[in-house]
Chain A
Amino acid sequence: MKLFVFAIGGTGSRVLKSMIMLCAAGVRPVDANGRPLQDVEIVPVIIDPHKSNADLKRTERLLSAYSTMREKLYGKNANANGFFATKISSLKEVVSSSQVPLDDSFIFNLAAVENYKFRDFISYNTMNEPNQALTSLLFADYQLENKMSIGFVGSPNIGSVALNGVKDSNEFKAFANVFADGDRIFFISSIFGGTGAAGFPIIVKNIRQARNIDAKNKAFLQRAPIGGLTVLPYFSLMESEDKQDKRIDNADFVVKTQSALEYYNNTLTGNGRNAVNAIFYLGDHGHNAPYAYDPGDKRDQHDPAHLIELVGAMAPFKFMSMSDSELSDPATGQPLPTKAFEYGLEKDTDFVDFSSFGQETRQLVYRPLVKLHLLYIFLRTGLNGMIGQGFTEDAPKITREFTGTQFYRVLTQQFFDSYLEWLTELLHNRRHVTLFNEGEMEMAKAIHKVVTKKSLFGYKKVDNDVFKAEMNRLSRDNSSYGSNAELKLMDLFYTAAEKIITERYDNIN
């Protein structure tokens, strides 16, 4: 199953970033019996004309790093178990034909939009006077003057016009051609801004009206299972230094949300519409952190990670785990009435840790994230000192040269730098998400509010030596890695971590 994830706008990129972290940790969608789904491939498509947006760039870099490492570990094989198990591919990678030229990137090419001011995009100057008057009623002056390379600055009325052309793009055509029976689509967008709020319904509309496009699989596309994460306000903006600049105003967030929800109800999710099979609503109005004011041209929109994004990143996994019969009528293939989901913490608190999540969330992410964090500590503090000993000497050997390979550098520098930044941002946001103790590099003390089990003389030890011993044992009994030292390292650690977490930590479940 391919899951095409359309991440729209800044929120789309940020949620996608959290999703990559979960995939890196080995989180996978499971079926009703808790078994991981097979042949899952995620195809993220970032839709955001604001390409200089730092959140978008961070996510794109992370996606590239993930793909690089994942390919080194498992090749093209969609089925894997462990860190980076879920296959993530760009649209270009899944398009087999070269009929349409595509960038080898995870970002949807919006050149037709982003190079223009909105005024020029709609050819305002060539309109006759009555049309200009009507346009001026619908769009404020600052919206007409908006350079769309900075996005739609919280104006869904711009987005709804500008993004309507998406269906004519090469990317959309390629997507429509490659979409197959059994594949699914998921949208991630906010509802209180411009790009996401407008992009979600427009692209859904274009998918449901696929009969009008020239694509070989349009029948599948028309009845494709579609899920959506709609993020309600979860942050606010500080006032602009320029008091006259009200292009984005906190006060509008709720009103815009209400209007958009009403519109979604009428077009996507309401009775008889069923354009979306499942919709996930998330918001955090009471605990939103004020971010620096930035319509797109003030700073680089480098917003900190937030609990909502982490929770939102679980929605695509939930959607993939739903059976076909939960989403569509088995007889006709037509979508069933939209299933709506909300999310609540087990404990509503400003200081969130693993125990604040409900059982289903803990089951999905707790162990994988702990494993990933222990890997982070192990690679930063342990592996270098182990080279030349134990499991590193079994074939395929992990040598000093290994630590200079592209895989190792991307993993330990690019990826884990991003991971640490992500954790730190989650921690210092208004909702303090303290999954792990900041700066703690002792494995036994790293997980927030978790201690190791009691032993005869105090507490059970968890450190690099414990991992080394377990990996030595596993390596001795397993010689199935061929020449793939990367896979050996990651698989040994993952398997060792599973055992050590079970045997030595208290209550990680």
Chain B
Amino acid sequence: MIGAVISVLFGFFSEPVYEALYYSSGFSEAMHNNDAYGIVAIIAIAMTWGIAALYYYVINSVKFDRWYHWMSMLGVASVLTPVVCFIVVGNLLEGMDYPTASATFEIYNVIVSALLFTIASFSMRWWSSNCRHTPIPQ
């Protein structure tokens, strides 16, 4: 529950969070003007929670229940989410030329995605039959 609240709060306050992590005058203003921070936050939340749900309830396998399996999913979520966000942001800011700033922003988004995936994991793992003790025992 706390994890869900944190994620929702992040959705609402994504702009100050992202700007606190990375601010570049032209790029950040363009992100603000196009409401892109909110969209990126929603994508990040949806993807990290989705990948966590995939791990705990779809894969949910005794062959994939060790901490390093979870770490691999963390890696997937932390890479895939910024990649998708990078593409979406590229489309939103079409015509504006911020490739370097956008890429740098996504590096910070890796950290955000990793945190969101961790929060999602610890929020939903309780009911997983095989992975509820992953990455660390409850």
Contact = CB atoms under 8 A, between A and B. Distances in A.
B19 interface: no
Contacts, number: 30
B130 A472 contact: yes
Interface residues of B, number: 13
B127 A390 contact: no
Contacts of B138: 393
B65 to A, nearest CB: 6
B62 A393 contact: no
A473 B129 CA distance: 5
Contact of A393 (B61, B63, B66, B133): B133
Interface string A446-473: 0000000000000000000100110011
A476 interface: yes
Nearest to B134: A389
Interface residues of A, number: 11
B2 to A, nearest CB: 21
A389 B129 contact: no
A389 B63 contact: no
Contacts of B65: 389-390
B62 A465 contact: yes
A173 B63 CA distance: 60
B95 interface: no
Contacts of B130: 390, 468-469, 472-473
Contact of A476 (B62, B63, B66, B132): B132
Interface string B91-112: 0000000000000000000000
A388 B129 CA distance: 15
B63 A465 contact: yes
Given A390-B133, A473-B129, A476-B132, 17 more contacts: A389-B65, A389-B66, A389-B133, A390-B62, A390-B65, A390-B130, A393-B133, A393-B137, A393-B138, A394-B133, A465-B62, A465-B63, A468-B130, A472-B129, A472-B130, A476-B127, A476-B129
Interface of B: 61-63, 65-66, 127, 129-130, 132-134, 137-138
8 contacts: A389-B62, A389-B134, A393-B138, A394-B133, A468-B62, A469-B61, A469-B130, A476-B132
